[in-house]
Amino acid sequence: MKIIFKIAKNEVRNLVYSPVAWFLVIVFLVQCAIFYAEPITMGSMLQEILSKNNPKFKQFPSALTAPLFLSETGVFAKALQNLFLFIPLLTMGILSREVNSGTIKLLYSSPIRLRDLVLGKYLALMCYSLVLVGILCIFMVSGAFQIKSIDYPVLLSATLGFYLLACAYSAIGLFMSSLSNYQIISAIGTFMVLFILGRIGGFWQQYDFVRDLTYFLSIAGRTAKMMAGLITTKDVIYFVVVVYMFLGFTLFKLKGGREAKPWTIKALRYIGVVISGVLIGYVSSRPALTGYLDVTVGKINTIHPRSQKILARMGDNAPLEVTLYTNLLGSGAQRGMPVGRNPYLTTLWESFLRFKPDIQFKYVYYYYNDGSLDNRQYYKAYPGKTEKQIAGITAKQINVDSAMFMPPAEIRKIIDPNLENGRVFMQLRYKDKKVNLRTFDDSYFWPDETHVDDALKLLIGDKGPKIYFLSGNLERSIHKTGEREYSGIAIDKGSRNALINHGFDTDTLSLDSRDIPADADILVIADPKTNLSQATEEKVEQYIDKGGNLLIFGEPRKQGVLNPLLGHLGVQFRNGTLVELSKNETPDKVIPYVTATGANLAEESKLLQWKEALRKKATEDDTVTVPMPGAMALSYAINGPFTISPLLETRPNKTWLKIGSMVLDSVAPVFNPREGDVKASSFITAVQLTRQINNKQQRIIVCGDADFTSNMRMTNNSFRNAFYSWMAYGIYPQYLPRRIDVKDNLLLISHRTGKTLKIIYIWVLPGLLLLGGGLLLIRRKRK
């Protein structure tokens, strides 16, 4: 061990007196200084402007640590991105210099073992990597004084990732230096190896035999989790394995120069190192053997505690089987192909495997397209071709074997592709139950954690709420895709927010021919346009009297259709249409705000954001709004059978109730009390009704508008699924709120100080380092 330290000490001395080492340190310092000083100077200027001109400004709305250090333009990201430019120049002469100077012969003839030589020189490179880490620490310590409550744990995690990557690069460079007497050849060789290792993870991913091997060998993205604050044993072990393999290669290369053994023996040594390294990496990456440390505030890299509880309920007595069905001729096919298998597992399932490592993954590939799902687009693109021929052409275009895909006749024996619109989906099976988990046509594509949770809850026996939408009186339809219809909120399998993708079972019901089924958890009456029959009204009233949960949407000029039924609840739609004058919208579009009662319906993200803003007193209006295109006002009895609370209320003195006719494409309407127009400080547009009956709380919601939750308006609806969640007693959907108190959102320096620091970091510090290094090298040369 003493020999190793002596060799390392001598090599460190060589690096200290190396112009290249000094040059690299200075360039690295300048690079980090630029990417630190520029944003912190701009941030201090922006903070100063806001502080002087906005009395309500207290701090930035988001954290400062991550953008400054960890974003794509942050200090760590740029350091990692350019690290491959520094290490090859440093390592290119560490062994070739010994050969060129002739000292390698002395080392061979000395009692020093080759492994001590290799380890000693590598230890020196590790020390140099610590110098680079020290430069990063300069800016981290500086940030601690310039950013309030800087996020230390994430920075330390990123530092670990940087150091491990630098050590891996150093081992690779050390090996390449042993291969050639020419330093430039060694540097170019190191660049090539790093380039290959950075991209090998995308090679041959369509072949099962080599997919895991190339994906494991890839060095690209290995520090991504650590940069995000998640340290895993498999990533740490990966870097250790890379160092082990290339140090082993270096040792065998040096041994080969002094041994006269057959090339087969020498080759077997290298093969043995590779096999043992890959085996260690493979075993260490198994889910059951992987350890995790999430150092982020709020544990954002770990599935929510509610998700963990669901997996705990599943236990280890039976595995979860996940089958990915990929249709070659369907939407999203490329994501489901073998080339996308590792990203699929990493993106969607790795966080769940951490808590349930016995998840089993299967894959089914098929081709199917009868023309009904895409208006025969494939058949128009390839006229005269059969379904099988089109599949062959498509497989050739994306470079996959067409023989791996089941024909339509075979896949129909397993699933009905039309039920999932022919697109990529997963089927989850646990014990004797199975549930489909869908993908979506957006940038993320895969389901969210909440979708997975809702599917798992169905698997373990948490019954999904049954919702019936009333039909027979021209109500809004859940089977139509028009802008005023309700398919997007109910049964659209391609919509992330659709109830069908969150554990709900939806159907339509005409009460003229049927009674309300006993399994009905929620009944929805959405804007009937003709009067309800006496039989229908009686059945709904009986449903209410038994304690059934009910959701009612009405529209202006149809008050008479629903008011007879609402009278049973002590609620009425008031005559007329609400008017709110606006510069940009027609006067029938009112924008009521969500009351405190409305915000507590469910843990929808927008409602939680508003409540959090209220808690911090960070909003101007202390409210969140919901646009309603054409709405009625509601009145209700205070002492009726139900406890009634407003959910939506118009903003004070912004609206009035127009009783007469209203022209939307002409001059703005004028308040006219002679026509019966009514003014008030505000109007209620949605209410919540509750009472205790049959040992449960009955829940009813009445809304004076049916458009704000329609296909066209759903994305702007702050409630999204809150109404249905509240009436399902919060069982579905599975909300996963994370309350994260951001503390590092204020700079502690002025703009003037920021500009001074910029000069010091970019010019003064590198200048001092250049001067000190220059003097040291000059004195060394004189001696």
Distances in Å between the Cα of 178 and the Cα atoms of 133, 172, 243, 246, 255 are 26, 10, 15, 11, 11
User: What is the pLDDT, as a whole number, of residue 405?
Assistant: 94
pLDDT tens, residue by residue, 166-208: 999 999 999 998 888 788 888 888 888 888 887 776 666 666 6
CA distance 87 to 171: 10
The residue with greater pLDDT, 109 or 702, is 702
User: What is the pLDDT, as a whole number, of residue 719?
Assistant: 83
User: What is the pLDDT, as a whole number, of residue 204?
Assistant: 63
Q: Is the pLDDT of residue 213 over 80?
A: no
**What's the rounded mean pLDDT across residues 557-570?**
93
**What's the rounded mean pLDDT across residues 133-155?**
93
Q: What is the mean pLDDT of the chain?
A: 88
**Which band of pLDDT confidence, cut at 50, 70 and 90, is reported for residue 285?**
confident
CA distance 105 to 112: 12
CA distance 194 to 202: 14
pLDDT tens, residue by residue, 519-558: 999 999 999 999 999 999 999 999 999 999 999 999 999 9
The residue with greater pLDDT, 107 or 446, is 446
| 466-727 CATH fold | Rossmann fold (3.40.50)
**Which band of pLDDT confidence, cut at 50, 70 and 90, is reported for residue 414?**
very high
Whether the Cβ atoms of residue 544 and residue 691 lie closer than 8 Å to each other: no
- How many CA atoms, within 13 angstroms, populate the side-chain half-sphere of residue 116? 15
**Which band of pLDDT confidence, cut at 50, 70 and 90, is reported for residue 103?**
low
Q: Is the pLDDT of residue 260 over 70?
A: no
Q: Is the pLDDT of residue 62 over 90?
A: no
Range name among 181-185, 199-203, 512-516, 604-608 with the lowest pLDDT average: 199-203
Q: What is the DSSP string of 94-110?
A: TTHHHHHHTHHHHHHHS
**What's the rounded mean pLDDT across residues 86-109?**
73
**Which band of pLDDT confidence, cut at 50, 70 and 90, is reported for residue 776?**
confident
**Which band of pLDDT confidence, cut at 50, 70 and 90, is reported for residue 102?**
low
**What's the rounded mean pLDDT across residues 282-299?**
88
- Name the nearest CA neighbour of 631 among 605, 617, 650: 650
CA distance 103 to 125: 19
Q: Is the pLDDT of residue 212 over 70?
A: no
**Which band of pLDDT confidence, cut at 50, 70 and 90, is reported for residue 437?**
very high
- Residue 366, beta-bridge partner list: 327, 406
Q: Please report, for the chain, the start and end positions of each structural domain, with discontinuous segments joined by +.
A: 2-295+750-782, 305-459, 466-727
pLDDT tens, residue by residue, 738-759: 887 788 888 998 999 989 999 9
Q: How many CB atoms lie within 10 A of CB 438?
A: 22
User: What is the pLDDT, as a whole number, of residue 382?
Assistant: 87
CA distance 244 to 251: 11
Q: Is the pLDDT of residue 622 over 60?
A: no
- Supply the pTM of this predicted model: 0.89
CA distance 547 to 597: 21
User: What is the pLDDT, as a whole number, of residue 168?
Assistant: 93
User: What is the pLDDT, as a whole number, of residue 773?
Assistant: 84
Tokens of 107: 């080392």
Q: Is the pLDDT of residue 356 over 60?
A: yes
